[in-house]
Chains A and B, each alone.
Chain A
Amino acid sequence: MLKIEALEFSYPSVPASTMHFDLTVDVGEVLSLIGPSGSGKSTLLSLIAGFLPASGGRILVDDEPLHNLPVAERPVSIVFQQHNLFPHLDLYTNVALGIEPSLRLAPIQVEAVRGALARLGLEPMQRRKPGELSGGQRQRVALARALVRQRKILLLDEAFAALGPALRAELIELVKTLVAEHDMCALLVSHQPSDASIASARSAFICEGRVAAIAATAQLLAQSEPPQLRDYLGSG
Chain B
Amino acid sequence: MTMSRAMPASLVLAILALLVLSPMAGLLHLSALPGYEAVDPRFWENAYLRRVVFFSLWQALLSTLLSVLPAILVARAFAMQPQLPLRRLLLGLFALPLVVPAVVVVMAVVSVYGSNGWLPLGRSLYGINGILLAHVFFNLPLAVRLLLPQWQAIPQHHWQLGEQLGMNTWQRFRFIEWPMLRESVPGVSLLIFMLCLTSFAVVLTLGGGPRSTTVEVAIYQSLRFDFDPAQAVVLALLQLGLCMLVAMLTLKLQRMPAVEIALSIAYRHRALRLRWFDLGIILLATLYVGMPLTSLLIDALRGPLGQTLGDLRLWQALANTLFIGLSAALLSVTAGWFLLQYSASLAEQGHSRRARLVDLAGSIVYVVPPLVIGTGMFVLLAPHVDVFDWVYPIVIAINALMGLPFVIRCLGPAMRQNHARYHRLCQALALRGWHRFRHLEWPLLRRPLGLAIALVAVLAMGDLGVIALFGSTQSATLALMIYQQLGAYLVAQASVTAVLLLLLCLGVFALLERCIGGSRDAKN
Instruction: Please report A residues at the B interface, Cβ cutoff 8 Å.
Output: 49-51, 71-74, 76-78, 80, 82-84, 86-89, 97-98, 101-102, 129-131, 149
Residues of B within 8 A of A71 (CB): 160, 163-164, 166
Q: How far is the CB of B140 from chain A (nearest CB, A)?
A: 27
In the complex, whether B165 has a CB less than 8 A from a CB of chain A is yes
CB-based closest 8 A-B pairs: A72-B166, A87-B258, A83-B157, A83-B155, A101-B171, A71-B163, A101-B167, A88-B179
* The residue from B163, B171, B257 contacting A88, defined by CB atoms under 8 A apart: B257
Is A98 touching B165 in the complex (CB atoms < 8 A)? Answer: yes
Is A80 touching B258 in the complex (CB atoms < 8 A)? Answer: no
Q: How far is the CB of A131 from chain B (nearest CB, A)?
A: 5
Is A82 touching B257 in the complex (CB atoms < 8 A)? Answer: no
**Complex Cα distance A49/B161, Å?**
10
- How many A-B pairs have beta carbons closer than 8 Å: the answer is 69
Which residues in window 303-333 of B have CB below 8 A to A? Answer: none
A83-B161, A86-B158, A101-B171 known, 10 other contacts, Cβ within 8 Å? A71-B163, A72-B163, A74-B164, A77-B164, A80-B157, A82-B157, A84-B157, A86-B175, A89-B175, A97-B167
Residues of A within 8 A of B160 (CB): 49, 51, 71, 78, 80
In the complex, whether B262 has a CB less than 8 A from a CB of chain A is yes
**Complex Cα distance A186/B257, Å?**
33
* The residue from A51, A80, A97 contacting B175, defined by CB atoms under 8 A apart: A97
In the complex, whether B356 has a CB less than 8 A from a CB of chain A is no
Is B167 touching A86 in the complex (CB atoms < 8 A)? Answer: no
Q: Encode contact with A along B235-269: 1 for CB under 8 Å, 0 otherwise.
A: 00000000000000000000101101111000000
Is A88 touching B258 in the complex (CB atoms < 8 A)? Answer: yes
**Complex Cα distance A40/B166, Å?**
26
**Complex Cα distance A98/B175, Å?**
12
Is A82 touching B260 in the complex (CB atoms < 8 A)? Answer: yes
Residues of B within 8 A of A74 (CB): 164
Which residues in window 373-399 of B have CB below 8 A to A? Answer: none
Is B163 touching A82 in the complex (CB atoms < 8 A)? Answer: no
In the complex, whether B176 has a CB less than 8 A from a CB of chain A is yes
- Helix, strand, loop or mixed for chain A's interface? loop
Contact A101 B165, CB 8 Å, known A88-B257, A89-B175: yes
Residues of A within 8 A of B156 (CB): 83
Residues of B within 8 A of A51 (CB): 160, 163
Is A83 touching B166 in the complex (CB atoms < 8 A)? Answer: no
Residues of B within 8 A of A89 (CB): 175
Which residues in window 167-215 of B have CB below 8 A to A? Answer: 167-168, 171, 175-176, 179
Q: How far is the CB of B481 from chain A (nearest CB, A)?
A: 50
**Complex Cα distance A83/B255, Å?**
19
Nearest CB to that of B258 among chain A residues?
A: A87
Nearest CB to that of A149 among chain B residues?
A: B165
Residues of B within 8 A of A77 (CB): 164
**Complex Cα distance A156/B290, Å?**
49
Is A87 touching B168 in the complex (CB atoms < 8 A)? Answer: no
Residues of A within 8 A of B158 (CB): 83, 86
Contact A78 B164, CB 8 Å, known A87-B260, A131-B258: yes
**Complex Cα distance A50/B166, Å?**
12
**Complex Cα distance A204/B164, Å?**
25
Residues of A within 8 A of B257 (CB): 87-88
Is A83 touching B262 in the complex (CB atoms < 8 A)? Answer: yes
Q: How far is the CB of A154 from chain B (nearest CB, A)?
A: 12
Give me 8 A-to-B residue pairs in the complex whose CB atoms sit less than 8 angstroms apart, sorted by A's number.
A71-B160, A80-B161, A87-B257, A87-B258, A97-B165, A97-B167, A97-B175, A102-B171
Is B164 touching A49 in the complex (CB atoms < 8 A)? Answer: yes
**Complex Cα distance A101/B176, Å?**
12
Is B261 touching A82 in the complex (CB atoms < 8 A)? Answer: yes
Is B161 touching A101 in the complex (CB atoms < 8 A)? Answer: no
From B161, B171, B257, B261, residue with most partner A Cβ within 10 Å: B161
Residues of A within 8 A of B155 (CB): 82-83
Residues of A within 8 A of B162 (CB): 101
Nearest CB to that of A86 among chain B residues?
A: B175
**Complex Cα distance A83/B158, Å?**
6
Nearest CB to that of A78 among chain B residues?
A: B164
Nearest CB to that of A151 among chain B residues?
A: B164
Q: How far is the CB of B2 from chain A (nearest CB, A)?
A: 23
Residues of A within 8 A of B164 (CB): 49-50, 71-72, 74, 76-78
Residues of A within 8 A of B260 (CB): 82-83, 87
Residues of B within 8 A of A98 (CB): 165
Q: How far is the CB of B160 from chain A (nearest CB, A)?
A: 5
Which residues in window 431-489 of B have CB below 8 A to A? Answer: none
Is B165 touching A72 in the complex (CB atoms < 8 A)? Answer: yes
Is A87 touching B179 in the complex (CB atoms < 8 A)? Answer: yes
Q: How far is the CB of A130 from chain B (nearest CB, A)?
A: 8
**Complex Cα distance A82/B257, Å?**
16
Q: How far is the CB of A143 from chain B (nearest CB, A)?
A: 14
Residues of A within 8 A of B179 (CB): 86-88
Residues of B within 8 A of A88 (CB): 179, 255, 257-258
**Complex Cα distance A84/B262, Å?**
12
Nearest CB to that of B262 among chain A residues?
A: A83
**Complex Cα distance A97/B167, Å?**
9
Q: How far is the CB of B302 from chain A (nearest CB, A)?
A: 47
Q: How far is the CB of A84 from chain B (nearest CB, A)?
A: 7
Residues of B within 8 A of A87 (CB): 179, 257-258, 260
Q: Encode contact with A along B125-139: 1 for CB under 8 Å, 0 otherwise.
A: 000000000000000
**Complex Cα distance A210/B113, Å?**
64
**Complex Cα distance A187/B310, Å?**
73
Residues of B within 8 A of A149 (CB): 165
**Complex Cα distance A131/B350, Å?**
14
Is A101 touching B175 in the complex (CB atoms < 8 A)? Answer: yes
Q: How far is the CB of A219 from chain B (nearest CB, A)?
A: 34
From B155, B160, B164, B260, residue with most partner A Cβ within 10 Å: B164
Residues of B within 8 A of A84 (CB): 157, 161
**Complex Cα distance A118/B176, Å?**
26
**Complex Cα distance A49/B157, Å?**
12
**Complex Cα distance A131/B261, Å?**
12
